[in-house]
Amino acid sequence: MLLFSKGMEYFIQTAHSRVYPFILGLVIASTVLILVPNPYATEAIRYENVTFITVLLSVLLFIAGVLLRFWMSKLEEKYK
């Protein structure tokens, strides 16, 4: 982990325009692997017991996260 983080730090400093798409790709691939269930895996995520309350809570928390991000961005600009 330490070697990976030091390597990423080096690559961000030397070739940041090529590193950011790599990081974005890792994040997108990880998200897809988490959200899309694998029917052949024994420990796969299953959405059988998802209720309306669960979906509603997820959407509300997502919106709260987006609003928090915008608020913190404006706060950062204010105190720069």
Query: How is the chain split into domains, by residue range?
Result: 1-45, 50-80
Check if the beta carbon of residue 12 is closer than 8 Å to that of residue 19.
Answer: yes
- Which residues lie below 8 Å from residue 46, measured CB to CB, with a gap of 6+? 37
Residue 12: pLDDT over 80: yes
What's the pTM value of the predicted model, to 2 decimals? 0.52
What whole-number distance in Å separates Cα of residue 34 and Cα of residue 28? 10
What are the tens digits of pLDDT across the range 22-77?
889 999 999 888 888 777 877 777 778 889 999 999 999 999 999 999 999 998 88
pLDDT of residue 53: 95
Which helix H or strand E contains 71, and what residues bound it?
helix 52-78
What is the CB-side half-sphere exposure of residue 41 using CA atoms within 13 A? 9
pLDDT of residue 71: 93
Distance of CA 6 to the CA centre of its chain: 21
**pLDDT number for residue 52:** 94
